Amino acid sequence: MKQLVSLVAVFAILFGIVQNVRAEEKKDAFTIELQTGVRNTYFDGWGGTSFYKGFSVPSSVTVTHNGTGLYAQLWHSFSPNGEEDGADETDRTLGIAVPLGPVCVDLSYSYYDLTGPVGYNAITLAVDLPKFEGVTPFVAVSKMYSTDSSVMPGYFLHKAGVKGSVKISDQPIDLCGYVSGFNGGGASELASILKLDASTTIKTGAVDIIPQAGYKVPLQGKVDPELFLGLDTVYAFGIK
C-alpha cells in the first residue's frame, strides 16, 4: 500500500511539472498507436531471457496524451501453435514520460499476466540521460511484486546502456546496447546479460515496418548466447 501511495504521489508531481512546463503549448491531442509483429523466439524486454523457443506474435495498443506525456498500453503475446505456453502473456501499463531539463523520465506501473497462476505487479523507472557525442546513455530499474511469492519470488531488475542512430544510404539504423542484472529469488547478478539490438523504420504510407535483430551475450549464469529476429508493423494516428 505504501508503494502505491508513493507511486501516485510521484505521478502527481510529474504531472504538475509537465502542466507548468507545457502550459503555453495547449496540446490536448491524443496519439493512438497500434502495433503487431512476429518474433523468432519469445524473450523478456529486460535481459533477453528466452521463455519460449518458437515463433510468437506480440501486439499492443498504446494511447498517449501528448500534452502531458501520460500513456496507457495493453500488450499481448501468443504463439501461433495455439497451445498455452511461455509465449502467452498480457500486460497492462499506465505511465508518464516527460522531459525534465536535459533528461527524459518514464515512470510506469504494470501488471504482467503470465501463463499460469502467478502474475507480477511492477513499478518501473527509466531515465534517458543527456546525449553525448550523438549517443544517449540510459538507466532503468524495476521492482516486481509477485502475486504469489510462495510460487514465484519478487525481483528487483536493473539495466544500463547506450543508444543512438547511424545512417546507411540515408536510412537511419537505431542501435542499442545494454547490460542487465537482477536481485531476487535467493540470487543476485549485477551483470547477467549483454544485449545488442539493431532496428530500422521503413515508412510505407500510413504503416511503418520495423525489422529488428538482437544478440544476447551471457555474462553470468548458464544462459546460452542467442540471436533474436523480429518484424513489426506500426500504425499511429492522432485525435484532437
Nearest Cα to Cα of residue 215 among 198, 227, 199, 231: 227
Residue 230's pLDDT is what?
92
Residue 79's pLDDT is what?
81
Nearest Cα to Cα of residue 74 among 111, 126, 127: 111
Instruction: Find all residues with CB under 8 Å of 1, minimum gap 6, and list them.
Output: none
96: helix, strand or coil: strand
Residues 2-233, CATH architecture: Beta Barrel (2.40)
Residue 237's pLDDT is what?
85
How many CB atoms are located within 10 Å of the residue 188 CB? 12
Predicted confidence (pLDDT) per residue in 180-209, tens digit: 998 887 788 888 889 999 999 999 988 999
Residue 135's pLDDT is what?
96
| Cβ-based burial of 25 (10 A; exposed 0-12, middle 13-18, buried ≥19) | exposed
**DSSP character for 21?**
H
Predicted confidence (pLDDT) per residue in 94-126, tens digit: 999 999 999 999 999 999 987 767 788 999 999
Amino acid letter, 54: G
| Cβ-based burial of 129 (10 A; exposed 0-12, middle 13-18, buried ≥19) | middle
Q: What stretches in the chain show pLDDT beneath 50?
A: 1-15, 17-25
Query: Which residues are paired to 24 by β-bridges?
Result: none
Alpha helix (H) ranges present in the chain?
A: 2-21
Instruction: Find all residues with CB under 8 Å of 13, minimum gap 6, and list them.
Output: none
Query: Would you list the domain boundaries of the chain?
Result: 2-233
**What is the separation of C-alpha 169 from the centre of its chain, rounded to a whole number of angstroms?**
29
| Cβ-based burial of 141 (10 A; exposed 0-12, middle 13-18, buried ≥19) | middle
Give the E-state strand segments of the chain in sequence order: 30-39, 42-43, 50-52, 57-65, 70-78, 89-100, 103-114, 119-128, 135-146, 155-168, 171-184, 187-199, 202-204, 207-218, 226-239
